[in-house]
Amino acid sequence: MLLTLITFIPLVGLLLIGLVPKSNTTLPKWIAAAVSAVDLALVGHLIANFERGESAMQFVENFTWIPQASIFYTLGVDGISLPLLFISALLMFLAVLASWRVENKPKAYFAMLMLLAVGLNGVFLALDLILFYIFWELVLVPMYFLIARWGGERREYASLKFFIYTLAGSVFMLVGIIALYLLKGSFNVIELIDSGLPANVQWWLFGAFFLGFAVKVPLFPFHTWLPDAHVEAPTAGSVLLAGVMLKMGTYGFLRIALPILPEGFASWQLAIVVLAVISIIYGAITAFAQTDAKKLIAYSSVSHMGFAMLGIGSATIAGINGAMAVNVSHGFVTGMLFLVFGMLYDRLHTREISKISGVMVTMPVIGGLFAFASFASLGLPGLSGFVGEFLSLMGSWQSAAIPYYLTVIAAVGVLLGAAYMLWLLQRSILGKPSELVEKNAEPLRVNEFLSVAPLVVLIVVMGLYWSSLLVFTDPATSVLVQVVGV
Amino acid sequence: MLLIPEALLVFATLRALFSDKLPFGDRGGAICGALVSVIGLVLIALQPTGEALFGGRLVFDPASKLIRMGILIAAALWFLWLVGRRSGRNREAAAIGALVALGSLLMATSVEIITLVVALELATLPAYILVGYRRDSRRALEGALKYFLLSMTTSLVMLYGLSLVYGMSGTTMLFDITGGDSTLAMIAALLVFTGLFAKLSAAPFHFWAPDAYEGADTWAVGFIATVPKMAGFLVAIRFAVALGNGSPVVPMLLAAAAVSSMILGNLAALGQRDVRRIMAYSGVAQIGYALIALVAISEATISAALYFIVAYSIGTLGIMLAFSERDARLSLMAGLSRRAPAAAVAAAALLFSLIGLPPLAGFMGKLYLFTSAIDAGQLALVLVGVVTSIVSAAYYLRIVKAMFVDAEVDTEDEEADCVEVAAMDGSATASTTAVIAAVVILSAGIFGSAIIEYFGFVIR
């Protein structure tokens, strides 16, 4: 029952928030904080009881749901889903804390966050393709409302674009799911592993899943929804979008597309790697050109997720572990970047880099946190960002299917990443305080401190002790690599 | 026993006509209609399937059972809405609604051509009074006239086709009709399906629907666009089976209608600024999805299509009733989430169901529909359906956006509009109705398996 609890406790929160009278504007956030804290504690309990050397699914729950169509309610967790479930629960809790001062319709706002939590947790736990699809699409609705109602100026455009793009990808995934079912008679992710379908069928099916997942990751050229959505979303929305939702895409590759369709993957491998490398370089170069800080962080996400896709594309143990590390680290780091920038935005009400300078002078703590997150983002050894990029590049170098020059080009991306992040720091955090920064300086608040402190600790721990993550992922990735067997 | 729900509706019609002399006054008819619909719903649920009446002219199979229950759920919701309608003169609406529901119920069971035509006219003729229910509005009268003329014309086309069918096979019993590939059979099929497509507002015979709907009140459109449609779709299934047998033309006709409905309906809806027009085109699109099932007929596709059409109809009715508060222009929908939060949330859920988001019934319907159609070898049609559903998200979301995001407009500077807004009907029960519809759609999605089991459907 543990996994069901983790998934659906936020739904209880949603109902409780629904019962709060409209006049009471403080209770919803307390309910949301309590519920997401409980959820996080349950995930902690799960991690503590998780059998680390085991590669199979654990805590499996299996109930018949629609027997006539062999649709089951199946949940389970393994080394690939557990870290992602953890960032989902953690970032949800932190996002609630970071939203403490939301005054525009707090009831609806926190209700949407709770609904989002159900979808995000569920995606990483579902082992039935239909159930997976339900959670996958469930995420769209609250995120649409979060952007459309609490977003920035161009929120209408951004929310619609976000919805249509991701829906477009996922309906093709649905066709893929239906086709898999008709061919193999099952929706169960585990039963379908190494489906043994003919290579040309696998090629088509992989294409269908690829569209669904690549939009979410997002892989160049399917990334154009991301900068708009990230920029216009409220802080909590950006944190969850970048920190958790993008991982749904990479998770989909690791959980569904690769193990079920290994031969399809083999013929798509080079395309994935090439697109990953383009994403790395393109994201980084585009980040240079941004004048909007949130947009810069958004493009840096495209670049970082490119590393995750490179690791997945390599189909080596190091590469896939690297992809997992990028996923987790990007969740921490980009989550933190958006949180800290959200603090600045609350004070300054601008996202223009040119108007922000000298934050370090007037708000040293916020400036310091921003600098810390930037260093983690650019891959400073000793912080979490380094682990994933290093392992992904290593895996890509090891893989026989990937030409060496592609790995070399990808490695240039690390350099570019350092350059645009440092340049951002130099322009906005250092220097003489601009008038805007001078006037609106305000020290760090308690809820703000609480919302980033855990991330600081985790970024350092993960950067120093890689094994704290790899001990979970390694057994599952080894099996995955065997199945894919490229 | 089998026809008690129909008899109750006849009673409700008469009760409504004499409302002013009876207790509860003007609202009495609606109250009686709602009660009768619920009782009828329970009775139909208890009825066994597989029986026939009047020498096999009326059959009570699982398909007609589902459609009849769908019709009565929709009718019950609509009467419930009518109970709270504020602007008075409700008794005629209740009487007409009961007649439409009665005709639709009969249409769902009749398998003999003459009975069928009578039932069809009973379901569609009173509807045109509902379109023109606001006697003082030019646009309503224009809409009513359009609806009436088109309804008559298509009936005539269909009747001509049916006369050819009779001449060909010498019987009026649907199950004995032979399709075949003779020229005569093709012409007959063409005429019959032209009529049916027009009645179902499937492209390319859909053009009348947006214009007719735009003139009418939202609540009236919601009823006439959904209740007869459920029954009409079942009739289309029966004809597709009867005439499609051995005919090369019928599947082609159906495929052409499905593709053009999906594409035209979805694209045309994008440009609309009036919820009634959007929903009219959305109806065209949704019929297009459902018609995929008729191209490749199997037990599974038909089961899926029936589930789908009922989910669509109840969802659409709920949306229309939620929006009945004001004029249906998108700009006036702004801020509905503030004025009527429950109705807005329910309508949003129903709109998401129409987009096809899980776990709502609209998603389950599409899932079953597409699965069974791919299984029957119609991948190309399904892909058209999938791509056009992405397009549909854009216009459904515009309605959601209008309700939740847009600020309320100041209507004062548009004085002409003001008069019109004031004339619009609201209902004290609009929120309740929409919420019930949303709950039905949500539970029909989650407990889909129970429904499938109950009706003995085949899902593949």
Judged against a pLDDT cut of 80, whether residue B152 lies above it is answered with yes
Q: Do residue B404 and residue A145 have CB atoms under 8 angstroms apart?
A: yes
pLDDT at B351: 93
Residues 184-223 in A contacting B (C-alpha not used; CB under 8 Å): none
Judged against a pLDDT cut of 80, whether residue A450 lies above it is answered with yes
Per-residue pLDDT tens for B57-80?
888 888 888 999 999 999 999 999
Strands A58-66 and B51-53: unpaired
pLDDT at B409: 56
pLDDT at B425: 58
Average pLDDT estimate for B88-106: 90
Task: Round to whole Å and give the CA distance between A286 and A224.
Answer: 12
Per-residue pLDDT tens for B347-374?
999 999 999 888 899 998 898 899 889 8
Q: How far is CA A31 from the centre of its chain?
A: 24
Judged against a pLDDT cut of 70, whether residue B424 lies above it is answered with no
For B183, residues 6+ apart whose C-beta sits below 8 A from its C-beta are: none
> Count of CB atoms within 10 A of residue A67's CB?
12
Judged against a pLDDT cut of 90, whether residue B329 lies above it is answered with no
Q: Do residue B383 and residue A149 have CB atoms under 8 angstroms apart?
A: no
Burial class (CB in 10 A: 0-12, 13-18, 19+), B231: buried
pLDDT-derived band of residue B261, with 50, 70 and 90 as boundaries? very high
Task: Round to whole Å and give the CA distance between B274 and A186.
Answer: 43
pLDDT at B193: 92
Per-residue pLDDT tens for A227-239?
889 888 888 889 9
Q: How far is CA A448 from the centre of its chain?
A: 21
pLDDT-derived band of residue B326, with 50, 70 and 90 as boundaries? low
> Count of CB atoms within 10 A of residue B234's CB?
25
Q: Do residue A182 and residue B374 have CB atoms under 8 angstroms apart?
A: yes
The amino acid present at A170, given as its one-letter code, is S
Q: Do residue B390 and residue A164 have CB atoms under 8 angstroms apart?
A: yes
SS3 track for A427-466: HHHCCCCCHHHHHCCCCCCHHHHHHHHHHHHHHHHHHHCC
Sign of the Cα torsion B246, B252, B253, B255 reads positive
Q: Do residue B358 and residue A144 have CB atoms under 8 angstroms apart?
A: no
Question: What does pLDDT average to over chain B?
Answer: 86
Q: What is the ipTM score, two decimals?
A: 0.86
pLDDT-derived band of residue B413, with 50, 70 and 90 as boundaries? very low
Per-residue pLDDT tens for A107-139?
889 999 999 999 999 999 999 999 999 999 999
SS3 track for A343-392: HHHHHHCCCEHHHCCCHHHHCHHHHHHHHHHHHHHCCCCCCHHHHHHHHH
Task: Round to whole Å and give the CA distance between B260 and B375.
Answer: 22
Nearest CB to B393: which of A65, A167, A179? A167
pLDDT-derived band of residue B412, with 50, 70 and 90 as boundaries? very low
Task: Round to whole Å and give the CA distance between A250 and A87.
Answer: 14
| Bigger pLDDT: B388 vs B337 | B388
For B29, residues 6+ apart whose C-beta sits below 8 A from its C-beta are: B12, B15, B16, B17, B19, B90, B91, B93, B94, B95, B98
CB B368 within 8 A of CB B459: yes
Q: Which of A222, A191, A168 is nearest to A70 (CA)?
A: A191
The amino acid present at A125, given as its one-letter code, is L
Does residue A157 sit at the B interface (CB-CB below 8 Å)?
no
Burial class (CB in 10 A: 0-12, 13-18, 19+), A60: middle
SS3 B9: helix
pLDDT-derived band of residue A176, with 50, 70 and 90 as boundaries? very high
Q: Do residue A149 and residue B405 have CB atoms under 8 angstroms apart?
A: yes
Per-residue pLDDT tens for B331-341?
777 777 877 88
Lowest pLDDT segment from A93-102, B174-183, B214-223: B174-183
Lowest pLDDT segment from A41-50, A133-142, B246-255: B246-255
Rounded to 5, what percent of chain A is helix, strand, coil?
Answer: 75, 5, 20
Degrees, nearest 5: CA angle B360-B363-B368: 125
pLDDT at A83: 92
pLDDT-derived band of residue B181, with 50, 70 and 90 as boundaries? confident
Q: Do residue B393 and residue A66 have CB atoms under 8 angstroms apart?
A: no
| Bigger pLDDT: B226 vs B424 | B226
Average pLDDT estimate for B404-416: 58
Q: C-alpha distances in angstroms, B444 versus A2, A66, A317, B209, B441?
A: 27, 12, 44, 28, 5
pLDDT above 90 covers what percent of chain A?
A: 40
Judged against a pLDDT cut of 50, whether residue A203 lies above it is answered with yes
Q: Which residues of B touch A (CB under 8 A)?
A: 352, 355-359, 363, 367-368, 370-371, 374-375, 382-383, 386-387, 389-390, 393-394, 397, 400-401, 404-405, 448-449, 452-453, 457-460
CB B57 within 8 A of CB B2: no
Residue of A134, A150, A155, A204 for testing the chain B interface, max B β-carbons within 10 Å: A134
Degrees, nearest 5: CA angle A160-B400-B354: 90
pTM of the full predicted structure? 0.90
Judged against a pLDDT cut of 70, whether residue A332 lies above it is answered with yes
Burial class (CB in 10 A: 0-12, 13-18, 19+), A439: exposed
Please report the number of interchain residue pairs, chain A to chain B, with beta-carbon separation below 8 angstroms: 82
Q: Do residue A69 and residue B383 have CB atoms under 8 angstroms apart?
A: no
Q: How many residues does chain A have?
A: 486
pLDDT-derived band of residue B418, with 50, 70 and 90 as boundaries? very low
Task: Round to whole Å and give the CA distance between B228 and B206.
Answer: 15
Average pLDDT estimate for A262-286: 92
SS3 B410: coil
Judged against a pLDDT cut of 80, whether residue B421 lies above it is answered with no
pLDDT above 70 covers what percent of chain B?
A: 94
Q: C-alpha distances in angstroms, B46 versus B32, B71, B444?
A: 21, 16, 19
Q: Which of B206, B251, B192, B201 is nearest to B229 (CA)?
A: B201
Residue with structure tokens 């509902």?
A: B130
pLDDT at B422: 41
